[in-house]
Amino acid sequence: MNKTKNHEPLFHIVKRDSLPVYKSWGIRIIAILAALIVAGVITMLLTGENPINVYLTMFKGAFGTSRRIWSLLQSLAMLLCVALAVTPAFMMRFWNIGAEGQVLIGGLATAACMITLGDKIPNALLIIVMIVASISAAAIWALIPAFFKAKFNTNETLFTLMMNYVAIQLVSYFEKLWENPKGSSNIGIINQATHAGWLPTIGNFDYLLNIIVVLALTVFMYIYLKYSKHGYELTVVGESENTARYIGLNVKKVIMRTMILSGAVCGIAGLLLVGGTNHTITTTTAGGRGFTAIMVSWLAKFNPIYMILTAFLITFLESGAGEISTVFGLNESFSDIITGIIIFFIIGCEFFINYKLHFRSSHKEVK
Amino acid sequence: MLATFIQRAVMQGIPLLFGATGEILTEKSGNLNLGIPGIMYVGGISGVIGAFFYESSLASPEDANAFLAISIPLLCSILGSLIVGLIYCFLTVTLRANQNVTGLAITTFGVGFGNFFGGSLIKLVDTDIPSISLTTTSNFFRTTLPFADSTGWFGKIFLSYGFLAYAAIIIALGCSFFLNRTRGGLHLRAVGENPATADAAGISVGKTKYLATCIGSVIAGLGGLYYVMDYANGVWSNDGFGDRGWLAIALVIFVMWKPKSGILGSILFGGLYIIYLFIPGLPLRTQELFKMLPYVVTIIVLILVSIRNKKENQGPQSLGLSYFREER
Amino acid sequence: MAEALALELKGITKTFGSVVANKDVDLKVYKGEILSVLGENGSGKTTLMNMVSGIYYPDSGEILVDGENVIIRSPKDAFSYKIGMIHQHFKLVDVFTATQNIVLGIKDGKFNIKAVEKKVMEITEKYGFNIDLNKKIYEMSVSEKQTVEIIKVLYRGADILILDEPTAVLTPQETQKLFNILRKMKKDGKSIIIITHKLHEVLEISDRVTILRKGMNVGTVETKDATEQSLTEMMMGEKIELNINREDPINPVERLVVDNLTVVKKDGTVALNNVSFNAYGGEILGIAGISGCGQKELLESIAGLQITTKESSIIYKPDDLENQQLVGKSPKEIRKLGIALSFVPEDRLGMGLVGDMDIVDNMMLRSYKSGRGTFLNRKEPRSLANQIIESLEVVTPSANTPVRRLSGGNVQKVLVGREISSAPKVLMVAYPVRGLDINSSYTIYNLLSEQKKNGAAVIFVGEDIDVLIELCDRIMVMNSGMITGVVDGRTATKEEIGLLMTKSVEREDSNE
């Protein structure tokens, strides 16, 4: 047969069937290490410090004092909480990128109860009202895009994204309505004198309650996704809507129910942030967690237990890079750059887990 | 009053128009780039960095050369957004990573990049200037058309903008022409609609996606450049650009992926964004409610479009999906 | 007929893994002729033509165009040799107009839609196409879409046109129109290859027929010398003895009475036309037919997954309840009554299984709801999974392996095993042995026979006529959404069934 002018391509990409667990985690760890090296080099270029010093500083920033450890754990818990919230929706292939807004609405409902009912009802009752209000407000907020997705197949990615900004402006409105003191455009610490509606602290640890609640949520979510009928149903819907219909599942109902859950957990995050940690609300209360949480959940392959690790990684980077910026006199946004780079590496490495490259020289291999 | 409102609306609208045009081009190739807000920050700060070094190199502001003052920041901005666009493409097209996650990571990165250099530039180069204020270069960007001041309301509405504003409109029209009237546009849309068909017809899906996304990123980045160099008088303030990037993505839906409609749409969005300033006696807090108008309007459009379910008004069919030829 | 060769294939072989799709196939196509490539499902017709059009690349063999040895690696290469193929699944962009689709991917010359339209108009006038060039694809009927595909190929200057089952989606009138166009093209000196299994069409349109069987060319005949009978014999081949153990039905009881079942698909085509039949407990009812003749819709109608017309009636007669009308019941209700469906689609996963879930989780896909409480009970599914793995010899590392990782045959065992495990009164299985090796196939046949012995009414849709004849008690033959005959499995011959499968039913259609 005569040879053609067409060359065989340099390499050929094929989908992998599977990769042993140790290999896939090996690839991920290599990616994280590579990312840390790149991030270290960049830091070195900017600060002139040697990378080892840089990482030592990061560690100090994250674990230096017990206060720092607590604050790291608190950030970790809140990020994990939002990541847990978006996970059931993602497993259903419903791209809920509106967690930011759902958290804010939950927080807003909490703040509203604290402000309007603060001195009118007993504290225990107030806290119960706060819990109910925050969870249901956020759940309804999340249900809106889910309803339209189920009914008209409205694009949920863009819908939930837009809902974030509606929520932000809503919070902004109430910030000014409830401003304290007048003219500050800020709510300030709510019920500073009476502590009405402040979630109780356990012992002397300000953040312990939040951490315990989120840990309980993690276990709940793990069990819900893995062992409950609901979790089973949403997995089937996510994997194949056709199969779901084939076995007579009501897909619309599953979509709406799952988003209510997703919103409700966001509401809990809002409750903890406003009632437990900040005792106030601003447009930045959610602090971008709604977006970061998506990466946390996705990197953990939607497994709540792994999410503790990925949330830890990102929180650690943020607090560590924050420390670098203080010590070396850099801007605090430095942490976003580092986080971005590391995520690029982790996202990129998935390719090598799912696909493999056949190079030209390997064409002798016969299938 | 009305003339001032329109003028302000246009100035608000121009960054959105850049962002939306860039995102439309990108989305038409099937890439949902949620990194656009970040890319606009990068485009802005890269221009600022260029302008900063150019101004620092001058002995006195009078030495500034109009050509260099414009082309250096412009090239830096283009280069900055291009690199970020390439990162996005490499991850989503070559490595087939999830577009939503990649886009959000790009936005985290880009906003951080902008704020970091915006905040640290002075510290990093160790000068004694108190803050980044690039009035010299900015003045070149802000040069309006002739007769802007002498022709009353007409001049105010039509002639009173810097060259980037007109560029935005020309680019939007150009994009519209490209997408609807040229072979390249047809191929690009085919890739976004049905990559398998495009592939079978001999169109390189990967190359098309790379080109569309990178050029789209560059266009969007210009929106950031316009914002700092023209709208903000060359003064960088961290997070000053705000959520305009997301508003640009909203605009894409609002105009149903039509760059030509983006011109009027962006002015409308710009108007909605600042209308509260022009309603007398509006309490401060109610102003905040007015600011959600563009988003609410977008949600309504999104819902209406999905209810009517008319194919022309929907986004590209394979938007957000990676393409792998051997996938069955 | 001109005697110049347009296309010649020499010794083409193509394998997919261990499956041989084509083996040493020779084929000749002359200029200005219409050649039919005839064969049963899976006889390798489409694969062979895909190699000519650049979709696949042959393992060995030569392709000659105009007497010259050529190498075709992509559809683009094929076009450069003036070969164009119209696939069964159209490759068109929905929101584009006809013209836009026609020019898609052409890179030379100036881009001028007006000039393109002019050239397209010339083509349409020359061959008598009737099409609105500015219409969007999604507004078009199937036949219009096909027209666009044909024009697309002609616009690229193809002299050799390959059409894969072009009439499968057309009405009789549209088919006639298409044939007229093809005749004009032939007169114009073009070579046309039609892949088909419809005998009357072969006889009507083609000059010569090449018959493929099990991936091999079993002969080429001049159409004028052929009859439906002779072609069927060549297509079906000798009867193969399979020695499937078939016992006589014991006390068959009427289970299903299907009456006037009609299904109209979304695009307006009739998938099932007035189908009426009975199925009995204790027997295996085979359904034979070319794929896409309504078998899928029939089974899905019974399972409650299709919307049927008002006149349709499906009566189910259980022992312990009064008769039940299944039309209007939900899939879940029907399943509860003891009617199971296992459909193995072309991609094997698809509808019955969830690829990323493990075997245990797939076991409970239909049963997870049973039992109270919010939590899943994995105990029974797990033991069921292990039981199926053991009894059906499923090759898997463990019961916790995602189904996607299993090989095709094992996936099917899991699927069929699960359906049988619910001890249904009516068991419907479609293509359960698709792609399976002999041993696995026999395991499945034995399972079905066992169900029959236990009194279930088994409805079996199969591709292989030999198997149907050896396994089933009765065989119902379908053709274009209608039943063309019911034969006794013990006395039927392959030819008899083959003729029923392919005989023309269009005339009955037009009478209505």
Q: Is the pLDDT assigned to residue A283 strictly greater than 60?
A: yes
| CA neighbours closer than 13 Å in the CB half-sphere of residue C31 | 13
Let me know: does C288 contact C494? Beta carbons within 8 Å: no
Confidence (pLDDT) at B11: 92
pLDDT at A367 over 70: no
Residue B265's pLDDT is what? 94
Tokens of A337: 């750059």
Helix axes A251-271, A99-117, angle to 10 degrees: 50
User: Best residue in B182, B197, B207 to probe C by mutation, most C CBs within 10 Å?
Assistant: B197
Contact flag C91-B202 (C-beta cutoff 8 Å): no
| Number of domains chain B is built from | 1
Which residue in chain C has the smallest CA separation from A6? C73
Q: Is A14 inside any structural domain?
A: no
For chain C, give the percent of residues with pLDDT over 70: 93
State which residues form the domain around A115: 21-354
CB contact under 8 A, A340 and B113: yes
Nearest-angstrom CA–CA distance, A133 and C177: 67
The predicted structure's pLDDT at residue A15 = 67
Segment B138-145 shows an average pLDDT of 84
Tokens standing for residue A360: 């030209």
Q: Tokens for C108? A: 């030379």
Residue B319 lies in a domain: no
Q: Which of B213-227, C129-143, C252-266, C304-318 has the highest mean pLDDT?
A: B213-227
To test the contact with chain A by mutation, choose from B238, B299, B301, B313 the residue with the greatest count of A C-beta atoms within 10 A, namely B299
| Assigned domain for B21 exists | yes
User: How far from chain centre, in Å, is Cα A109?
Assistant: 21
A266-270, B91-95, B322-326: which is most confident? A266-270
At C511 the pLDDT is 37
Say yes or no for a CB contact (<8 Å) between A337 and B327.
Answer: no
Query: Which of A336, A345, A350 to probe the B interface (max B CBs under 10 A)?
Result: A336
Q: Is A348 in the B-facing interface, judged by CB distances under 8 Å?
A: yes
Instruction: Decide if B193 and C92 are in contact by the 8 Å CB cutoff.
Output: no
In the structure encoding, which two tokens stand for residue B166, read together?
């007109």
User: B239: how many CB neighbours lie within 10 A of its CB?
Assistant: 13
pLDDT, chain C, mean:
84
Beta strands in chain A (DSSP E): 11-15, 355-359
State whether residue A225 sits within 8 Å of chain C by CB. no
C253-338+424-511 has which fold?
Rossmann fold (3.40.50)
A1 belongs to a structural domain: no
A46 touches chain B (CB under 8 A): yes
User: What is the enclosing helix (H) or strand (E) of C38?
Assistant: strand C34-38
Q: What mean pLDDT comes out for the span B258-273?
A: 93
Count the domains in chain A: 1
Residue A259: give its domain's CATH number: 1.10.3470
| Range in A7-16, A165-174, C15-24, C489-498 with the lowest mean pLDDT | A7-16
A84: tokens are 């847990």
- The answer to whether C368 contacts chain A (CB < 8 Å) is yes
Amino acid C324: pLDDT: 86
CATH class (in words) of the domain with range C5-236: alpha beta
Q: How near does any CA of chain A get to the CA of B154, in Å?
A: 34
**Residue A314 within a domain:** yes
ipTM of the complex in this document: 0.86
Strand order of the β-sheet with C339-343 is C339-343, C426-430, C457-461, C284-288, C474-479, C482-488
> Which positions ≥6 away from A29 have C-beta within 8 Å?
none
CA dist., res. C285 & res. C262, Å (int): 20
Q: Which residue has the tokens 């709604």?
A: A290
Alpha carbon of residue B218 to chain centroid: 8
Q: How many helices and strands, by DSSP H and E, does chain C display? A: 17, 20
* 242-261 in chain A: CB under 8 A from chain C: 242-243, 245-248
In sequence order, the 6+-apart residues with CB closer than 8 A to the CB of C453 are: C247, C250, C282
Q: Give the range of the structural domain holding residue B28, as residue numbers without chain letter.
A: 2-313
Please tell me the distance in Å from C247's CA to the nearest CA on chain B: 41
Highest-scoring range by mean pLDDT, A134-143, A180-189, B313-322: A134-143
A232, A245, A302, A354, best to mutate vs chain C, most C CBs in 10 Å = A232
Q: What's the whole-model pTM score?
A: 0.84
CA distances to B217, B234, B269, B292 from B247, rounded to whole Å, are 16, 22, 8, 10
Round the average pLDDT of chain B to a whole number and report it.
Answer: 88
Q: Is the pLDDT of residue A4 over 60?
A: no
Strands, sheet with C208-213, edge to edge from the N-terminal-most edge strand: C83-86, C160-164, C191-196, C34-38, C208-213, C216-222
Residues of chain B contacting C85 with CB distance shorter than 8 Å: none
What is the maximum alpha-carbon separation in chain A? Answer: 92
Distance, CA of C358 to CA of C410 (rounded, Å): 13
Q: Which residues are registered as beta bridge partners of C335?
A: none
In a domain, A360, yes or no: no
Kindly tell me if the per-residue pLDDT of A48 is higher than 50: yes
Q: Which residue in C has a C-alpha nearest to residue A228's C-alpha? A: C375
Record: contact A227-C365, CB cut-off 8 A: no
A6 belongs to a structural domain: no
| A5 in a structural domain | no
> Which chain B residues are Cβ-neighbours of A337 within 8 angstroms?
109, 112-113, 116
Nearest Cα residue to A84 out of A252, A272, A245: A272
Does residue C268 or residue A7 have the better pLDDT? Answer: C268
How high is the mean pLDDT of chain A? 86
Domain ranges of chain C: 5-236, 253-338+424-511, 351-423
Same fold, C5-236 and C253-338+424-511: yes
Please tell me the predicted confidence (pLDDT) of residue B185. 93
Does the pLDDT of residue B196 top 90, yes or no? no
User: Which among C398, C393, C384 has a CA at the least distance from the CA of C412?
Assistant: C393
**What is the CATH classification number for the domain harbouring B56?**
1.10.3470
